[in-house]
A and B are shown apart, each in its own frame.
Chain A
């Protein structure tokens, strides 16, 4: 029970201190809008909103979660308030789950902002919502744990942002959102399969437009494996670097 109290308090503290702050709420709204506009300008013609929806959702989650987590953990580490959490009588696993749950929820909410906007403009019937929501959740989990992996590998907030881009931009272009994986040069195709977003984006494509190219159960398993591996690796890094 005491562990649950601590978990809930850390989560609520993060929500109040970071995720529900006006700049972050506006980020959650402006970011998906910008992506939609960018794709609109790029195409030069009226875009098929439903076609770009999986991409905007996936990128909103990826950028939202990795940015927030890299900043909040690195910032707390820098101000030494994170030390207070490490010295509390809660297990490291639970502590890091509490720290990441806020970012996961933020990512999920970010993903549904473009869906909300789209619902005013197009007919969203035919979407397999359970699969879409599960996909969103798993993309949020893996992206958050990627953010955690980045946050525990650096010391400064600016390093976290730079390091995040090292992962985010290749993912953006190689995950099949803009260029189908089958159209990528043969050399880059294996790289695409090493990126968690490839699987997440495919689940969203499948559930929204029924045009995914991977089996959904396989994508779910791969995403779970990515999430587990990133979380385990991050915990190992924390034990090595912060509980030295």
Chain B
């Protein structure tokens, strides 16, 4: 890592009065997996479209692998692979024919593209099903073949839009493994996902985009370090009422209390806390405590803190969109 392979500088995209992306600036280093996270309508797809040549920025500049991504987009497209959020191969063509066709779009010779298609079908565990028409593939297999089509020309950079959405757990696991393998072979990955835990597991760095603005870009480690400075305790109680939470806030002014569900509350403290005073407080309030857990921060916590968006809303929006 170290060399900048994607650079977006002050990207803007306006549709009439509506600004989909405003002044977005970020860089992606060669060899990293970069996660682009944000809620539905935040501007993720518009940004990917601008980077890949499917949309023209209203303002700003793009540099991809040293080329001007706006003026020389066709040169850039030779070096990038794109896997859209929906599997968009040809339904009546076989897996093999789809891959061979995609290879031909990059000018590969017949023998070369057939060999590459066979190699990828084997690598993606689709060698047996490669002769079936694409429409007969399962969702997971379709996704894998779409990724294979995206890397048919061995691009330096691969753009993956929601790679594991809507597929079964096992296929999602296999795809994550494929992404890591590809990255291990030197492919830079630009990934959008609404599964924050997936980004946490896969990405080296992430960018958060909300309402068209990139509000933070950082390495996962740095983001977590910020978050690590707070201590979290999750209490599972028999029940809790607003009055109880109010009394807690008064009794422990340095503690921030938030409700997780009808039985669970989370205490957030800037310093390390002792458990005994809390247990005593609940005993005095005649509220049985069933479980206390020290919670390590996750990227979800970072995301919620930085963007102010609840994860549940993010997932609900995406599921709603798929329906």
A2, A84, A244: which has the most chain B beta carbons within 10 Å?
Answer: A84
* Inter-chain contacts of B105 with A (CB < 8 A): 6, 9-10, 84-85, 88-90
**A89 near B88: Cβ-Cβ < 8 Å:** no
| Residue pair B90, A5 in contact (C-beta under 8 Å) | no
Quick check: is A83 within 8 A (CB to CB) of the other chain? yes
List residues of chain A with CB within 8 A of the CB of B109: 5
State the CA gap A32–B93 with chains docked (Å): 30
Question: Among B48-56, B195-203, B273-281, which stretch is in contact with chain A?
Answer: B48-56
**In the complex, which residues of chain A have a beta carbon less than 8 angstroms from the beta carbon of B89?**
81, 84
Inter-chain CA distance A244–B52, complex, in Å, is 12
Given A5-B104, A9-B104, A243-B54, also A88-B77 (CB < 8 A):
yes
Residues of B within 8 A of A87 (CB): 52-54, 77, 82
A2 lies within 8 A of B107 (CB): yes
- Could you tell me if A79 and B77 are in contact, using CB atoms closer than 8 angstroms? no
Residues of B within 8 A of A1 (CB): 107
- Please tell me if the beta carbons of B88 and A13 are within 8 angstroms of each other in the complex: no
Cα–Cα distance between A13 and B134 once the two chains are bound (Å)? 15
A162 interface hit (Cβ, 8 Å)? no
Residues of chain B within 8 A (CB-CB) of A9 are 101, 104-105
> Once the chains bind, are A244 and B88 in contact (CB under 8 Å)?
no
Q: Count of B residues near A, CB < 8 Å?
A: 28
A-B contact count (CB 8 A): 70
- How many residues of chain A have a CB within 8 Å of chain B? 25
Decide if B282 is an interface residue (CB 8 Å cutoff): no
A90 touches which of B52, B74, B90, B102 (Cβ 8 Å): B74
Within 8 A of B (CB), among A70-108: 79-81, 83-91
A79 engages B88 (CB within 8 Å)? yes
The chain B residue sitting closest to A3, CB to CB, is B107
Interface residues of B in 50-69 (CB under 8 A from A): 52-56
Q: Are B74 and A83 in contact (CB under 8 A)?
A: no
A88 (CB) vs chain B CBs: closest residue: B105
Chain B residue at smallest Cβ distance from A7: B104
Residues of A near B104 (CB, < 8 A) are 5-6, 8-9
The answer to whether B107 touches A83 (Cβ under 8 A) is no
Q: How far is the CB of B25 from chain A (nearest CB, A)?
A: 22
Q: Mark B151-193, 1 if CB is under 8 A from A, else 0.
A: 0000000000000000000000000000000000000000000
- Which residue of chain A is the closest to B46 with respect to CB atoms? A244
Within the complex, the shortest CB–CB distance from A174 to chain B, in Å, comes to 38
Q: Which of A198-244 contact B (CB under 8 A)?
A: 242-244
Asked whether A13 lies within 8 Å of B84 as measured between CB atoms, the reply is no
Q: Are A17 and B93 in contact (CB under 8 A)?
A: yes
Residues of B within 8 A of A86 (CB): 53-54
* Contact flags A10-45 to B (C-beta < 8 A → 1, else 0): 100100010000000000000000000000000000
A85 to B86, CA, bound (A): 15
Distance from A129 Cβ to chain B, minimum over Cβ atoms (Å): 35
Task: Give the distance in Å from the alpha carbon of A3 to the alpha carbon of B77 in the complex.
Answer: 13
CB pair A91–B56 under 8 Å, yes or no, is no
B74 to chain A, nearest CB (A): 5
Residue of A1, A85, A89 with most partner-chain B CB within 10 A: A89
A-contact bits for B98-142, CB 8 A (1 contact / 0 none):
000110111111000000000000000000000000000000000
* B92 CB within 8 Å of chain A: yes
A82's nearest neighbour on chain B, judged by CB, is B88
Which residues of the partner chain B approach A13 to less than 8 Å between Cβ atoms? 90, 93, 101
Do A89 and B92 touch (CB < 8 A)?
no
Question: Is B78 an interface position by the 8 A CB rule?
Answer: yes
Closest residue on chain B to residue A240 by CB atoms:
B56
CA distance A230 to B190 in the complex (A): 38
Q: How far is the CB of B89 from chain A (nearest CB, A)?
A: 7
How distant is A2 from chain B, measured CB to nearest CB, in Å?
2
| Chain B residues with CB under 8 A of A5 | 104, 107-109
A89 & B77 in contact (Cβ 8 Å cutoff):
yes
| Cα(A100)–Cα(B109), bound, Å | 23
- The reply to whether B56 and A80 form a contact with Cβ atoms under 8 Å apart is no
Q: Which chain A residue lies CB-closest to B55?
A: A244
- Say whether A89 contacts B93, CB under 8 Å: no
Q: Which residue of B lies closest to A13 (CB)?
A: B101
Does B91 make an interface contact (CB < 8 A)?
yes
Would B92 and A17 count as touching, CB distance under 8 A? yes
Q: Is B313 an interface residue (CB 8 A)?
A: no
Q: B88 touches which one: A3, A8, A83 (CB < 8 A)?
A: A83
Please give, as numbers and ranges, the residues of chain B lying within 8 Å of A85 by CB-CB distance.
105
Question: Which of A10, A84, A89, A244 contacts B74 (CB under 8 A)?
Answer: A89
Given A13-B93, A84-B89, A243-B54, 20 new contacts (CB under 8 A): A2-B106, A5-B109, A9-B104, A10-B105, A13-B101, A17-B93, A79-B88, A79-B91, A81-B89, A81-B90, A83-B54, A84-B105, A84-B149, A86-B53, A87-B52, A87-B77, A88-B77, A89-B77, A89-B107, A244-B55
A-B contact pairs, 7 of them (CB 8 A): A6-B104, A9-B101, A85-B105, A88-B77, A89-B105, A243-B55, A244-B15
A residues contacting B by CB (< 8 A) are 1-3, 5-6, 8-10, 13, 17, 79-81, 83-91, 242-244
